[in-house]
């Protein structure tokens, strides 16, 4: 299941306004000097939908479907759906549980690779309408969408392009028509959709053939019906971080090179939609450093999403009740995902009864307590600060003990920091306690606890002047 999700897919990048300062992509011209490229990169900004999404920090996946009942991870589409009847299902319990834990948006697997639809699709018999659930009148996509509205939580859908049930799967035209019909249902009947998630799996159909996915048609349909929705990860707005371990990269640029320009060069600065094939491997250590951007043809705001499951599997398996990640593990994941300039997409799979299990609820609650106890109080508050260029010197007034540094850039103005250091004053000298490369939306660094009354933060290298929006010191809750 760990494979590259979005290689060789076309991307569709949208312009925001006529000003070069407010676009989420920019073309690099052959005549551009390195300085000009850096300046261009520094001025690429997120589209409003990307900015909203990044500010969420915490989002949830609900993997639920026929696999929940069969105990499989990848169903083959031949499952007997007549036994699908999660009679106690309570989508409000799902959404409330994750909202209470701090999550701001959820994504439901409306259809996974087995092709079973959690909504009564008109275009297939392999759906909830042919199960005993609510006498064939159930619609779990609707239940989740309504719960999200009730709790004011964002709502997203996962629709697997790979469909192991649909007889037309190997036929490109027929299958794309079916897929567009399904997308239309999901985007028309459930109110506002905030995220559409396409997996990269593309297996063979019953005729031994793979269809070619008409991604750009799908993207256009989404833009038309739900323009505010981000399209992830086989999509133009949100990039897969490249691993399902919960660990993002230490140097994480949201501005990265995007393939060769396929449209004519006259598309430069055009206000029309333009498409790109993505470029190469998106799993390297540093996708957007200076050495990468100077060779690029186009740079785009294409931020990372870190998807990881709270359990070993994506779907619920009773045998994994004892393997739910601990609050400490979730805390570490927060540091290595949100704290590394990405959004966390944590999978919390409801069980066979249609409820989030007690084991998962317990760990989420304890993690939330730790989060609040750690980040509830910035130890720099109340201190005085002297700012000299890109150095902030804090006088904390009295010695305080801390082991976490938080930095944030105002990414609505771009991502710019390339290198930073943090030092404390001890025995008449500055001693380094943390350093790093990129910041972006948020950078968190943990270190051995330090007690000091004076601290300074220095931006040592950046693309133009960075816009630092927050500096924090915290003490991790035990
Ligand atoms: C993968 C899928 O194959 C898994 O089953 C899961 O849905 C994960 C989020 O994406 O590619």
Tokens read off for 476: 């991790």
265 pLDDT exceeds 80?
no
8 pLDDT exceeds 60?
no
Nearest Cα residue to atom 1 of ligand 1: 1
Query: Are 9-375 and 384-474 equal in CATH topology?
Result: no
Lowest mean pLDDT among 70-79, 265-274, 361-370, 450-459: 265-274
Please name the residue that has the structure tokens 């939580």.
153
- Of the two residues 13 and 118, the one the predictor is more confident about is 118
Which atom of ligand 1 has the smallest separation from the CA of 307?
9
In the chain, how long is the greatest CA-to-CA distance? Answer: 76
Mean pLDDT across the chain? 91
Sign of dihedral through CA atoms 376, 379, 380, 384? positive
Number of helices and strands in the chain (H, E):
10, 19
Mean pLDDT within 153-158: 98
pLDDT of residue 478: 86
pLDDT band at 208 (very low <50, low <70, confident <90, very high): confident
Nearest Cα residue to atom 2 of ligand 1: 1
Tokens read off for 325: 């990640």
Which atom of ligand 1 has the smallest separation from the CA of 199?
11
Mean pLDDT within 32-59: 97
319 pLDDT exceeds 50?
yes
Pocket of ligand 1 (CB under 6 A): 1, 73, 199, 201, 307, 314
pLDDT of residue 308: 98
Please name the residue that has the structure tokens 């001693």.
431
Nearest Cα residue to atom 10 of ligand 1: 199
254 pLDDT exceeds 70?
yes
273 pLDDT exceeds 60?
no
- The candidate with the shortest Cα–Cα distance to 126, out of 159, 67, 158, 79, is 79
pLDDT band at 205 (very low <50, low <70, confident <90, very high): confident
pLDDT of residue 5: 44
Share of the chain above pLDDT 70, in %: 91
49 pLDDT exceeds 70?
yes
CATH 2.60.120.260 fits 384-474, yes or no: yes
Which atom of ligand 1 has the smallest separation from the CA of 109?
7
CA 127 – CA 114 distance, rounded (Å): 11
pLDDT of residue 260: 46
Beta partners for residue 432, in sequence order: 423
Lowest mean pLDDT among 190-204, 365-379, 437-451: 190-204
Integer-rounded Cα Rg, in Å, for the chain is: 23
Please state whether beta strands 25-27 and 298-301 pair in parallel, antiparallel, or not at all (unpaired): antiparallel
Q: Strand locations in 263-390, DSSP E?
A: 274-276, 298-301, 304-309, 342-347, 384-388
Runs of H (alpha helix) within 260-357? 290-293, 327-336
192 CA from centroid of ligand 1 (Å)? 24
328 pLDDT exceeds 50?
yes
pLDDT of residue 21: 52
Which atom of ligand 1 has the smallest separation from the CA of 347?
9
Nearest Cα residue to atom 4 of ligand 1: 1
pLDDT of residue 466: 97
pLDDT band at 209 (very low <50, low <70, confident <90, very high): confident
358 CA from centroid of ligand 1 (Å)? 24
122 pLDDT exceeds 90?
yes
DSSP 83: G
Q: Packing angle between helix 172-188 and helix 215-225, nearest 10 degrees?
A: 20
User: Could you read off the pLDDT of 19-42 as tens digits, one per residue?
Assistant: 445 799 999 999 999 999 999 999
Mean pLDDT within 171-188: 97
pLDDT of residue 202: 80
174 pLDDT exceeds 60?
yes
Nearest Cα residue to atom 3 of ligand 1: 1
pLDDT of residue 281: 65
Hey, what CATH class is 9-375 in? alpha beta
Contact 55, 477 (CB under 8 A): no
pLDDT band at 150 (very low <50, low <70, confident <90, very high): very high
307 CA from centroid of ligand 1 (Å)? 9
- The candidate with the shortest Cα–Cα distance to 331, out of 312, 321, 344, is 344
pLDDT of residue 162: 95
CA 368 – CA 99 distance, rounded (Å): 10
436 CA from centroid of ligand 1 (Å)? 31
Which atom of ligand 1 has the smallest separation from the CA of 63?
7
Contact 360, 324 (CB under 8 A): yes
Please name the residue that has the structure tokens 């999200």.
148
Lowest mean pLDDT among 32-41, 125-134, 187-196, 266-275: 266-275
Question: What residue segments make up the domains of the chain, in order of their start?
Answer: 9-375, 384-474
- The candidate with the shortest Cα–Cα distance to 286, out of 343, 231, 340, 232, is 340
Answer whether 0.85 is exceeded by the pTM: yes
Which atom of ligand 1 has the smallest separation from the CA of 3?
11
Backbone angles phi, psi at 200, to 5 degrees: -90, -5
DSSP 93: H
17 pLDDT exceeds 70?
no
CA 421 – CA 432 distance, rounded (Å): 7
């Amino acid at each position: 299941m760990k494979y590259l999700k979005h290689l060789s897919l076309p991307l569709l990048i949208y312009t925001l306004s006529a000003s070069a300062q407010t676009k989420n992509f920019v073309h690099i011209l052959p005549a551009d000097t390195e300085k000009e490229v850096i300046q261009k990169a520094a001025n690429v900004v997120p589209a409003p939908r990307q900015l909203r999404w990044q500010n969420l920090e915490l989002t949830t996946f609900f993997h639920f479907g026929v696999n929940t009942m069969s105990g499989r991870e990848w169903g083959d589409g031949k499952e007997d759906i007549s036994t699908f009847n999660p009679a106690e299902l309570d989508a409000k319990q799902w959404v409330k549980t994750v909202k209470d834990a701090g999550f701001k948006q959820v994504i439901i697997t409306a259809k996974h690779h087995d092709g079973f639809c959690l909504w009564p699709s008109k275009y297939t018999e392999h759906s909830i309408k042919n199960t005993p659930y609510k006498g064939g009148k159930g619609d779990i996509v609707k239940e989740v969408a309504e719960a999200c509205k009730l709790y004011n939580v964002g709502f997203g859908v996962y629709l697997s392009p790979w469909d192991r049930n649909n007889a037309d799967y190997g036929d490109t035209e027929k299958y794309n028509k079916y897929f567009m019909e399904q997308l239309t249902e999901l985007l028309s009947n459930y109110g506002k959709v905030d995220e559409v998630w396409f997996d990269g799996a593309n297996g063979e159909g019953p005729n031994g053939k793979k269809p070619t996915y008409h991604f750009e048609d799908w993207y256009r349909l989404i833009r038309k019906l739900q323009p505010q929705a981000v399209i992830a990860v086989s999509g133009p707005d949100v990039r897969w971080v490249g691993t399902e371990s919960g660990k993002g990269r230490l140097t994480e640029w949201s501005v990265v090179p995007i393939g060769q320009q396929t449209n004519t060069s006259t598309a430069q600065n055009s206000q029309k939609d333009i498409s790109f094939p993505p470029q190469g491997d998106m799993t390297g250590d540093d996708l957007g450093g200076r050495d990468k951007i100077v060779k690029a043809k186009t740079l785009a705001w294409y931020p990372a999403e870190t998807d990881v499951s709270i359990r070993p599997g994506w779907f619920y398996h009773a045998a994994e009740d004892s393997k739910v990640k601990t609050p400490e593990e979730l805390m570490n994941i927060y540091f290595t995902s949100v704290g590394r300039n990405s959004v966390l997409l944590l999978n919390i799979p409801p069980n066979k009864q249609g409820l989030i299990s007690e084991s998962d609820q317990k760990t989420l609650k304890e993690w939330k307590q730790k989060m609040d106890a750690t980040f509830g109080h910035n130890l720099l508050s109340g201190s005085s600060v002297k700012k000299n260029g890109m150095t902030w010197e804090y006088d904390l007034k009295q010695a305080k003990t801390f082991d976490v540094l938080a930095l944030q850039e105002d990414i609505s103005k771009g991502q710019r920091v390339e290198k930073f250091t943090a030092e404390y004053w001890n025995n008449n000298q500055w001693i380094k306690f943390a350093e790093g490369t990129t910041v972006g939306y948020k950078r968190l660094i943990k270190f051995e606890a330090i007690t000091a009354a004076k601290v300074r933060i220095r931006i040592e290298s950046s693309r133009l002047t960075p816009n630092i929006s927050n500096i924090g010191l915290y003490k991790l809750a035990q």
